[in-house]
Amino acid sequence: MSTLLFSRLRKTYAATVAVDDVTFEVRPREVFGLLGPNGAGKTTLIRMLIDIIAPDSGEILLDGRPLGRAERDRIGYLPEERGLYRKEKVIDILAYFGMLKGLDRRTARASSLEWLERIGMPEVANRRADSLSKGMQQKVQIAGALLHDPQIVVMDEPFAGLDPLNTVLVKDLLRERRERGGLVILSTHQMPMVEELCDRVAMIDHGRLVLYGVLEEIRRRHGESIVLVGADADLEDLPVVARVEPQGALHRVILRDGARPRDLMALLLEKRIAIDHFEALRMPVEDIFVRTVRSRSATPAPPPPPVVAGAERRA
């Protein structure tokens, strides 16, 4: 079981700091979400992992050792900017990708055929890539990233352009990698996918790590401050309440910092207010994302990266 550590990575392009002292860890048997707005530095981080870009400082370690050639061959990568050799046969393209990852010709072809079978496209093996639809090409590229049975899978927006049926197929493939002990790094802007698939996430903004940890914990921390209450009373006067917004027949109660739903419940009971509905809301990841980015945009100087659960920094 291997652990991948991104340790104090920094990368600058002229005057722009693309990645600024970023440290996080990806563990086996997890789907790890790499989140952030456009231009945040996610692609730079991924390119450093697959050794297309060298960091100015910091390192990437697998089980405490720097990634070597053999380890990099165990990475399966689906870039955001992707394509295929348009005029070549699908089987030839896949076999070539497999051979570049160290498979011999025969194994690469056999594995390519097997994967075409798995993604439900065995009939396209001898067709030219430019004769396939965009969605089919997308699936072929996903097969290309997985056919050498990689230990680490890096997928940048793998669901873009897929119909719901194929989205389910790709989600199943990623879950299968997790079950088999692999490390899956998923970079996407589709927050429902993050909620559904990711165990832990890291959010990058302006090159810095701004959120990191187990998704449920992050959600709980951000979600605890909102409660949906059905009660015939003026709730704004309560000391734990920051403000109240109407939501249909109910009240959307935003609590003050540090207050918990149980504190509100205790107050309501103490004041003998009749309660028809009480629901502590789970804040959508999308809201957490937007709120975090907006709060940082409003702040002139970025704070130092937070060290939260599961992000112990190594020397």
Partner 1 sequence: MSKVGVIMGREFLSTVRRRSFLIVTLGMPFFLTAYMAMVGLLPAYFLIRSGRSEKPVGMVDLARVVRPEVVEALGKERGEAGRDARTIADRVAPGSARVKAITSLLEDVDGPIEFVTLPSRDDALRRLREGTVQRVFVVPVGYLESGAIEVYQTETSPFARGGERADGALTRILRLSLAAGNLPDDVRARLDRPIEPSALSSYLVRPDGGVEPLMDAERIARMVIPGVFALLLLMSLLTSAGYLLQGVVEEKENRVIEVILSSVTPRELLFGKLLGLGAAGLLQLGVWVSVAGFASSLLAAAALAYLNWKLFLFCLLFFVGGYMMVGSLMTGTGALGSNARESQQLSVIWTLCLVIPPAMTWMPIVDDPNAWMARALGWFPLTGPITMMIRLGTGKVPTWDALVALVCLAAGVYLSIRGAAALFRLGLLMYGKRPSLREIARQLRHA
Residues within the interface to partner 1 (CB under 8 A): 13-14, 47, 50-54, 72-73, 75, 77, 79, 81-86, 88, 96-97, 99-101, 104-105, 141, 144-145
Residue number with CB closer to partner 1 (143 or 211): 143
Which string of DSSP letters, residue by residue, matches 63-99?
Answer: TTEE--HHHHTTEEEE-SS----TTSBHHHHHHHHHH
Q: In angstroms, give the least distance from the CB of 173 to partner 1.
A: 17
CA 289/CA 269 separation, integer angstroms: 34
Q: In angstroms, give the least distance from the CB of 237 to partner 1.
A: 58
**Which H helix or E strand runs over 175?**
helix 164-179
Q: In angstroms, give the least distance from the CB of 268 to partner 1.
A: 56
Residue number with CB closer to partner 1 (104 or 245): 104
Residue number with CB closer to partner 1 (85 or 279): 85
The CB-based long-range contact list for 90-98 (8 Å cut-off, 24+ gap) reads 90/116, 90/124, 90/125, 90/126, 90/127, 90/128, 90/129, 90/132, 90/140, 91/116, 91/125, 91/126, 93/129, 93/140, 93/144, 94/140, 94/143, 94/144, 94/147, 97/144, 97/147, 98/144, 98/147, 98/148
Q: In angstroms, give the least distance from the CB of 198 to partner 1.
A: 22
Residue number with CB closer to partner 1 (88 or 149): 88
Q: Give 199: exposed, middle or buried? Use CB within 10 Å, 0-12, 13-18, 19+.
A: middle
Residue number with CB closer to partner 1 (104 or 236): 104
Residue number with CB closer to partner 1 (99 or 280): 99
Q: In angstroms, give the least distance from the CB of 95 to partner 1.
A: 10
Q: In angstroms, give the least distance from the CB of 130 to partner 1.
A: 9
